[in-house]
């Protein structure tokens, strides 16, 4: 068994509510996922990341867990989960579960007990603090979903901390019993055969025990569009030094099982590459981490180059995971639309670009179809930030609308009932059934197949070539073989000078003739060759 199967892997994220509904209630379920796994396998993925399926009141769509060792009835039961694992493994797919360790649901039995008094078995399992002398919150810490990160509980006459909704109280991981409990919940799923975990908000596990206020910083914007959160330097409410020892405990647990891997979500806009590097360096922490740096609006060669360089400069032995879309951000073909010739061409360029990056890559369900962000109306929303801050913040529902399988079936073949979020015409038109030769889906399959067969793209080191905007160029080198990747990030036709060994392996809108490479808008080329004859590339 390949203990490091995760290096260079393609991880396909499934948002269970929106992948496939099998029981007709309008919400996706485990049986639906199992039925559609062939699509993921034929795409060329190596693993699936399944967003939370645990018992939950669904205040934040499963990221508020009330039972860590059972399946929410909305999705099925443990037998359905076991069947999913078995089918995935039959298809050669690993299964990574989304693990929410920083906080639970306010309806978790432990919090229900903890909030009743200051003297009970779970009294210190969550983050509690006395009010300031004027009755206000203990610190100035902010919630991602707006307002203070504190809610008052009259029975204890204290505030409890929540980095997100008030229905998501933060665990107190300074308490060893809390750590032990969380590790045992992970052991439960490891024993059932899961291959790893995606660790939600991995740098939020610990808070400053001295409860110091965060200093102010200039206003910025985070991935959810909530500006107030980025008005602080988050020195004390997250990314604390105690986190490292807990990550080591997680690694020690997963290392007791063969070929397991963890990827951490680093929610840190101000020093994300530093934290990613710190969390993945060496052999006793996380195998992988990702951040929001490539999930934002910036689409330049300099950004793609400097982000990757910053990671590997910080952790030469660390391993990143890169992705352009997920369930928390606007879909990238919409986010980067002004840089694309059209949606299809931009989608095709994007996967070629992503597949060239050193690390593991993540694909979010539907991006292989070129799905755009769904335009939502207020009455259609379910996401708390959108409901609270509409219309300035539209929330995350637009990237979570159902997968579309059959252009001729009601609701795109997602359900026989009424879907929990609408299936609208622009998405319906991109159903799997209509993705023929030359489509975005066909292109994704071709690029991922090429990458799987290429040792340099899977695990080779990276050397960037500074050609200048709007061209991103890089060499991926493995031993005596290399692949040189050249991308036109603009809609304009470009002519480049290319010298050396030039044998095009895979391309789009690219021509090479007599030391000249012509790249149409959003065109790209993978050039194969020997390390001894790396092409030199420059603007004409």
pLDDT tens-place string over residues 311-335: 999 988 999 999 999 999 999 999 9
Parallel, antiparallel, or unpaired for β 94-99 and 67-71? unpaired
Q: What is the pLDDT of residue 1?
A: 59
Quickly count: other Cβ atoms within 10 Å of residue 82's Cβ: 13
Q: What is the pLDDT of residue 163?
A: 98
Confidence of residue 224 (pLDDT cuts 50, 70, 90): very low
Quickly count: other Cβ atoms within 10 Å of residue 312's Cβ: 18
Query: 499 has which bridge partners?
Result: 536
Quickly count: other Cβ atoms within 10 Å of residue 8's Cβ: 21
Q: What is the pLDDT of residue 269?
A: 81
Overall residue count recorded for the chain in this entry = 540
DSSP string, 116-184: T-SSSTTTTSB-EEPPPTTS--SS--B-TTSSBSEEEETTTTEEEE-SS-TTSPBB-TTSHHHHHHHHH
- Residue 448 tokens read as 């991922």
> What 3-state class would DSSP assign to 537?
strand
Q: What is the pLDDT of residue 230?
A: 85
Q: What is the pLDDT of residue 270?
A: 78
Query: 152 has which bridge partners?
Result: 159
Give all strands of the β-sheet with 128-129 in edge-to-edge order. 128-129, 158-161, 150-153
Q: Rounded distance, CA 465 to CA 482, Å?
A: 14
Element (H, E) at 10: strand 10-14
DSSP string, 39-59: HHHHHT-SEEEEPP-EE---T
Alpha carbon of 416 to those of 21, 76, 407, 419, 420: distances in Å? Answer: 8, 17, 14, 8, 12
Q: What is the pLDDT of residue 514?
A: 83
Tell me which residue has tokens 């030039």: 502
CB-based contact 213:129 (threshold 8 Å): no
DSSP tag of 97: E
Does residue 222 have a pLDDT over 70?
A: no
510 contact partners, CB below 8 Å, separation of at least 6? 486, 504, 517, 518, 519, 520, 523, 524, 525
Does residue 481 have a pLDDT over 60?
A: yes
Alpha carbon of 499 to those of 150, 467, 529: distances in Å? Answer: 61, 13, 12
103 contact partners, CB below 8 Å, separation of at least 6? 64, 162, 163, 164, 168, 169, 170, 171, 204
Alpha carbon of 80 to those of 38, 72, 191: distances in Å? Answer: 17, 11, 16
Q: What is the pLDDT of residue 392?
A: 87
Phi, psi of 473 (to 5 degrees): -135, 140
Q: Domain-by-domain residue ranges, the chain?
A: 10-102+176-206+242-451, 461-539
Quickly count: other Cβ atoms within 10 Å of residue 87's Cβ: 17
Confidence of residue 51 (pLDDT cuts 50, 70, 90): very high
The CB-side HSE value for 203 (13 A sphere, CA atoms) comes to 27
Least confident span in 109-113, 228-232, 441-445: 228-232
Does residue 349 have a pLDDT over 50?
A: yes
Phi, psi of 125 (to 5 degrees): -80, -15
Question: What tens digit of pLDDT does each residue of 257-297 get?
Answer: 999 999 999 999 879 999 999 999 999 999 999 999 999 99
Question: What tens digit of pLDDT does each residue of 66-90 get?
Answer: 999 999 999 999 999 999 999 999 9
Quickly count: other Cβ atoms within 10 Å of residue 532's Cβ: 9
DSSP tag of 328: T
- Residue 148 tokens read as 């203070």
Does residue 225 have a pLDDT over 60?
A: no
Identify the sign of the CA torsion 403, 407, 410, 411. positive
Phi, psi of 99 (to 5 degrees): -110, 120
Average pLDDT over residues 428-457: 97
Q: What is the pLDDT of residue 228?
A: 83
Closest CA to 289 of 301, 281, 298: 281
CB-based contact 406:412 (threshold 8 Å): yes
Closest CA to 352 of 218, 510, 219: 510
Least confident span in 126-130, 194-198, 312-316, 479-483: 312-316
Domain 10-102+176-206+242-451 is found in CATH 3.40.50.360: no
Does residue 503 have a pLDDT over 60?
A: yes
513 contact partners, CB below 8 Å, separation of at least 6? none
CATH architecture group of domain 461-539: Sandwich (2.60)
Confidence of residue 227 (pLDDT cuts 50, 70, 90): low
Q: What is the pLDDT of residue 461?
A: 97
CB-based contact 527:483 (threshold 8 Å): yes
Share of the chain above pLDDT 90, in %: 93
Tell me which residue has tokens 């099998």: 22
Higher pLDDT, 131 or 513: 131
Average pLDDT over residues 128-132: 98
Least confident span in 51-55, 145-149, 205-209: 145-149
Least confident span in 105-119, 218-232, 386-400, 441-455: 218-232
The maximal CA–CA distance of the chain, rounded, in angstroms, is 80
Query: 528 has which bridge partners?
Result: 483, 503
Q: What is the pLDDT of residue 223?
A: 42
Higher pLDDT, 228 or 144: 144
Please tell me whether the overall predicted TM-score, pTM, comes out greater than 0.85 for this model. Answer: yes
Q: Rounded distance, CA 438 to CA 450, Å?
A: 16
Q: Rounded distance, CA 385 to CA 443, Å?
A: 35
Do 10-102+176-206+242-451 and 461-539 share a fold?
A: no
Catalytic residues: 200, 268
Q: What is the pLDDT of residue 219?
A: 58
- Residue 434 tokens read as 């209509």
Confidence of residue 126 (pLDDT cuts 50, 70, 90): very high
Confidence of residue 245 (pLDDT cuts 50, 70, 90): very high
């Amino acid at each position: 068994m390949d203990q490091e199967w995760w290096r260079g892997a393609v991880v396909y994220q499934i948002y269970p509510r929106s992948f496939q509904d099998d029981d007709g209630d309008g919400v996706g379920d485990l049986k639906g996922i199992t039925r559609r796994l062939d699509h993921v396998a034929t795409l060329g993925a190596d693993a699936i990341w399944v967003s939370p399926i645990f018992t939950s009141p669904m205040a934040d769509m499963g990221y508020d867990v009330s039972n860590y060792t059972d399946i929410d009835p909305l999705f099925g039961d443990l037998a359905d989960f076991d069947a999913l694992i078995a089918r995935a493994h039959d298809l050669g797919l690993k299964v990574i579960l989304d693990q929410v360790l920083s906080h639970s649901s306010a309806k978790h039995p432990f919090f229900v007990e903890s909030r009743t008094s200051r003297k009970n078995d779970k009294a210190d399992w969550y983050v509690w603090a006395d009010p300031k002398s004027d009755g206000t919150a203990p610190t100035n810490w902010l919630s991602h979903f707006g307002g203070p990160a504190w809610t008052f509980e009259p029975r204890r006459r204290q505030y409890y901390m929540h980095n997100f909704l008030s229905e998501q109280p933060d665990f107190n991981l300074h308490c060893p019993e809390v750590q032990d409990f969380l590790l045992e919940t992970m052991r439960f799923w490891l024993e059932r055969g899961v291959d790893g975990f995606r660790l939600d908000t991995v740098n939020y596990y610990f808070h400053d025990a001295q409860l110091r206020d965060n200093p102010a910083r200039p206003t910025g914007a985070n991935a959810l569009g909530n500006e107030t959160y980025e008005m602080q330097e988050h020195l004390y409410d997250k990314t604390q030094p105690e986190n490292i020892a807990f990550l080591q405990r997680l690694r020690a647990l997963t290392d007791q099982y063969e070929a397991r891997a963890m990827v951490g979500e680093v929610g840190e806009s101000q020093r994300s590459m530093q934290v990613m590097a710190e969390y993945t360096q060496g052999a006793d922490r996380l195998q992988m981490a990702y951040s929001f740096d490539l999930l934002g609006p910036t689409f330049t060669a300099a950004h793609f180059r400097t982000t990757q360089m910053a990671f590997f400069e910080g952790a030469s032995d660390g391993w990143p995971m890169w992705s352009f879309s997920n369930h928390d951000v606007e879909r990238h073909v919409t986010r980067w639309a002004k840089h694309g010739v059209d949606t299809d061409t931009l989608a095709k360029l994007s996967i070629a670009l992503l597949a060239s990056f050193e690390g593991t890559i993540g694909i979010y369900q539907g991006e292989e179809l070129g799905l755009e962000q769904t335009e939502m109306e207020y009455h259609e929303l379910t996401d708390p930030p959108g409901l609270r801050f509409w219309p300035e913040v539209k929330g995350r529902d637009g990237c979570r609308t159902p997968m579309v399988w059959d252009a001729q079936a009601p609701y795109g073949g997602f359900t026989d009932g009424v879907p929990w979020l609408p299936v609208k015409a622009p998405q319906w038109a991109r159903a799997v059934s209509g993705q023929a030769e030359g489509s975005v889906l066909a292109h994704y399959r071709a690029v991922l197949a090429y990458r799987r067969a290429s040792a340099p793209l899977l695990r080779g080191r990276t050397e960037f070539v500074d050609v200048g905007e709007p061209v991103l160029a890089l060499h991926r080198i493995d031993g005596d073989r290399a692949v040189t990747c050249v991308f036109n990030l603009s809609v304009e036709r470009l002519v480049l000078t290319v010298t050396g060994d030039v044998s095009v392996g895979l391309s789009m809108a690219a021509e090479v003739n007599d030391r000249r490479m012509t790249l149409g808008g959003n065109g790209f080329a993978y050039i194969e060759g020997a390390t001894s004859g790396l092409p030199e590339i420059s603007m004409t």
